[in-house]
Structure 1
Amino acid sequence: MFQLYKKRGFSEFVGDTFEFLKLEGKNYFKNYFIINGPLLLILVVCIYFLMKVYMDAVFSTMATQNPNPNNILNNLMNNIPLFLSLGFVAFVLIILVSLINYSFPVSYLKLIGEKSEITTQSIFNLMKEKLGRTILFFLASLLVFLPIITIVMILLVLLMIIAIGFPLLIIIGPALISWLKLSYYDYITTENNYLKSVGNGFDLLKVKFWPIVGSTIIMYIIFYFVSSIFTMVPYFIGLATIFTDIQTNPDKTEAFSTISILASVVMVLSILSNYTLQNLIFLNQGIIFYSITDEKENISIKSDIDLIGSDSE
């Protein structure tokens, strides 16, 4: 089983994230898609048809001899019940899928830390047990983290006038993200109140600020690079196919219909890749959390001593 409590530096924060996937990835993503897969499937179907309705309204207007922007609204109004219904369902599903995306990796790593059996049922039970705290964390963060992030971003934008804002943004942005996620890990894995966990998250961040920020930046670069492959490659292939078809068959209606489908498919792929790859970020922050916790509390050393005692018996 993967060793969570272990002293790590910058390279280990990144390397052990992929080591975790090597050892636990198959079981991790199998359970992830068992729990979150049905909701993700319904979500992407809703998004696909939402995009299809909107894009059809836009391109049906553009395909006319004298395109009128007001016709887009008229075309949408013809499908307004379907559009609003799909929009409402998609909104609810986004909230549910996001809650699972936050709580699943935390629950999985908590079970590893406790050396408990990891099954779909055990993960689901722990997620259900911590659901109230997860929702409370989200709501409280709107009052605590959102104002902080807003004020910091405004200051950074102002500092961009004198160029210093750009490097500060690269550093402070990941630091704020890591602070939020470390606070969440502390809040879910302990019985601390919200403000105590926020303070603990900040203290954990300060212990190894530069290695934590550096590994967070690296993981986000990987995240955006891989997600771009899943979305941009099909997008460019589709566009190349469409332009080839237009040259051989200059029927605008058919071309716009193909573009509409392509845009919807790219949106679906973007959502699937985004939610799935977010696990990399959460796992990386979890490894950071358990590593810094071990440095403060020497849990791995205590565990080794216990093992020596049990062996001697």
Structure 2
Amino acid sequence: MIQFYKKRDFGTFISDSFNFFKLYGKNYFKNYILINGLLLILMVTVFIFGYKELFSQIFGSNLGGDTYYFERYFSENAGMLIGVGVLTFLLFMILAIINYLYPVFYLKRVANGAKNIKADEILGDFKENIGKIAKLCLGMTFIVIPLSLFVIGFSYLLILVLIGIFLIMIVYPTLFNVITFLMYDYFNSGRGFMESLSRSIRSQFSYPNGSEKSPFWKYWGASFVMFIIMSLVSSVFTYIPMIFFYSSVLTNTPDGNFEQNPFTGAFGVAFFVFYGISMLLSFFLSNLLYVNAGLMYYDSRTDLHQKVELEEIDTIGINE
């Protein structure tokens, strides 16, 4: 069993994240698939067939010499494109909410001593907190996301003076930590949205008592390493279709057909299937990031560390 409310160092965040899945992975992903599986399949299906069609039109040449080929295509298929776009957006939003909050509710239950957690219990947590989830979405849309985009945009501008490259490497994991801490704190404490947001920002730089060493670099480092692991694993399925694509271009005898529309036929389907698998894998691997961030959040809750330790001592005394 993993102790959640305790201080951890950089290496312990990484090792305990993997240990968590060794202990709870089977139950965790079983419930994750039960809750999220259908949405993931729909999302990948829309991606494969919707974007295959879109890219086919982008890369397909205009055999008839019509200058307004793309304008005509989009005007004739405006309804389908809008429908696919709206469906993709809605699916992505629902997936984002579940993907972010599922680890929050699961870890909350495990931290409180639950063992064999069921999907119905997690769904019950979603239903019970539907009002807070709505407020969270509004706060994210109108406060957190605009501020994040401003910070990211400013960092990209600083690339012109080189410092922006290093700043971006710091900003992305830090923003991820702030947002994830916000969600953990919002649903694990009695604080409101703005109070949890304030605490999630302050937690990146100092512990509540203010007398201990800043946890910023160990939080940043743990998230950065997890980002690298996730990117390396998921990119395998991204590079495979690209290798086949360029191999076909470089080794096959040009006949005009493949160059006109490389995404037609079996190759086009295989190309986007691999990208769909990469997307699916990214969703699953993202849980490693969220669990790791959860351990960091519990590390920051030093106000509860001593309380939990005393409760464990009392439990040992009762058992004896």
TM-score w.r.t. structure 2 length?
0.86
CA distance, structure 2, for counterparts of residue 178 and residue 254 of structure 1: 42
1:256 and 1:113, CA in 2 relative to 1: closer, same or farther beyond 3 A?
closer
Distance 1:239 1:11, change over 3 A: same
CA distance in 2, matches of 1:296, 1:161: 45
Paired with 2:254 and 2:58, the residues of 1 have a C-alpha distance of 24
1: CA distance, partners of 2:52 / 2:245: 16
159-168 or 301-310, which deviates more? 159-168
Name the CA distance, whole Å, in 1 between partners of 2:128 and 2:9.
33
Assess, with a 3 A threshold, how the Cα gap between structure 1 residues 97 and 256 changes in structure 2: closer, same or farther: closer
Question: Given the superposition, is the C-alpha separation of residues 205 and 254 from structure 1 closer, same or farther in structure 2, using an over 3 Å criterion?
Answer: closer
Displacement of 1:100:
0.7
Q: Which runs of 5+ in 1 are unaligned?
A: none
Alignment of 1:35 with 2:26, yes or no, is no
Determine which of 93, 98, 101 is the counterpart of 2:99. 101
Give, as a single letter, the amino acid of the residue that structure 2 aligns with 1:48.
I
The alpha-carbon deviation at position 255 of structure 1 amounts to 5.0
- Cα drift, residue 32 of structure 1: 0.6
The one-letter code matched in structure 1 to 2:120 is Q
2:79 matches 1:73:
no
Q: Per the alignment, do residues 242 and 36 of structure 1 end up closer, same or farther by CA in structure 2, a change over 3 Å counting?
A: farther
| Alignment gaps of 5+ in structure 2 | 208-214
Indicate how the Cα distance of structure 1 residues 294 and 265 shifts in structure 2: closer, same or farther if over 3 A, else same.
same
Which shifted more, 251-260 or 188-197? 251-260
- Give secondary structure in 2 for the equivalent of 1:4: coil
Shift of 1:109: 0.3
* Cα distance in structure 1, aligned partners of 2:60 and 2:158: 45
| Counterpart Cα distance in 1 of 2:169 and 2:59 | 39
In structure 2, what is the equivalent of residue 6 of structure 1? 6
Question: Which of 194-203 and 163-172 deviates more?
Answer: 163-172
1:2-36 CA-to-partner distances (Å, cap 9, x unmatched) read: 33223211111111111111111121111111110
1:22 and 1:111 map into 2 onto residues whose CA distance is 17
Q: After superposing the two structures, state which structure 1 stretch, 23-32 or 265-274, moved more.
A: 265-274
Could you say what secondary structure the match of 1:247 adopts?
coil
Aligned letter for 2:240?
Answer: V
Q: 1:234, 1:266 within 8 Å by CA — same for their partners in 2?
A: yes
| Structure 1 counterpart of 2:294 | 286
- With over 3 angstroms needed to count, the CA separation of the structure-2 counterparts of 1:292 and 1:65, relative to structure 1, is same
Distance 1:36 1:194 in 2: 25
The answer to whether the 8 Å contact 1:53/1:79 transfers is no
What code does the residue aligned with 1:100 have?
I
Residue 115 of structure 1 is matched in structure 2 by 113
Residue number in structure 2 paired with 1:302: 310
More helix by share: 1
1:299 and 1:241 mapped to 2: Cα distance?
Answer: 63
SS of residue in 2 equivalent to 1:115: coil
Q: What is the one-letter code of the residue matched to 2:138?
A: L
Q: Give 1:189 shift.
A: 1.4
1:225-244 alignment runs, 5 A limit: 225-240=232-247, 244=251
Letter in 1 for 2:25: G
- The question of whether the paired residues in 2 share the 8 Å contact of 1:238 and 1:262 is answered with no
CA distance in 1, matches of 2:141, 2:162: 30
Distance 1:54 1:158, change over 3 A: closer
Residue identity in the other structure for 1:229:
V
The CA deviation string for residues 256-302 of structure 1, in whole angstroms up to 9 with x for no partner, is 51453344324422321222222111111001111221465424412
Match of 2:253 in 1: 247
Quick one: structure 1 residues 285 and 262, their matched pair in 2 at CA, closer, same or farther if it must change by over 3 Å?
Answer: same
Instruction: Give the conservation status (yes or no) of the 8 Å contact 2:10–2:219.
Output: yes
Contact 1:186–1:197, Cα closer than 8 Å, also in 2: yes
Identity of aligned residues (%): 29
Q: Partner of 1:271 in structure 2?
A: 279
Question: In the alignment, does 2:143 pair up with 1:136?
Answer: no
The answer to whether the 8 A contact 1:61-1:71 is kept is no
Q: Does the 8 Å contact 2:263/2:271 carry over to 1?
A: no
Q: Deviations over 1:154-197 (max 9, x none)?
A: 44334333323322322233222211211110001122111111
* Shift, 1:243, TM fit: 5.5
Return closer, same or farther for 1:49/1:73 CA change in 2, 3 Å cut-off: farther
The amino acid of 1:115's aligned partner reads: G
Distance 1:184 1:61, change over 3 A: same
Secondary structure of 2:42's match? helix
> Structure 1 residues 169 and 248 mapped into 2: Cα distance closer, same or farther (>3 Å)?
closer
Residue by residue, what CA displacement relative to the aligned partner does 1:214-254 show, whole Å, maximum 9, x if unpaired? 1111111112111111221243235435755x439774378
1:83 to 61, 70, 81: 81
User: 8 Å contact 2:52–2:263 — kept in the other structure?
Assistant: no
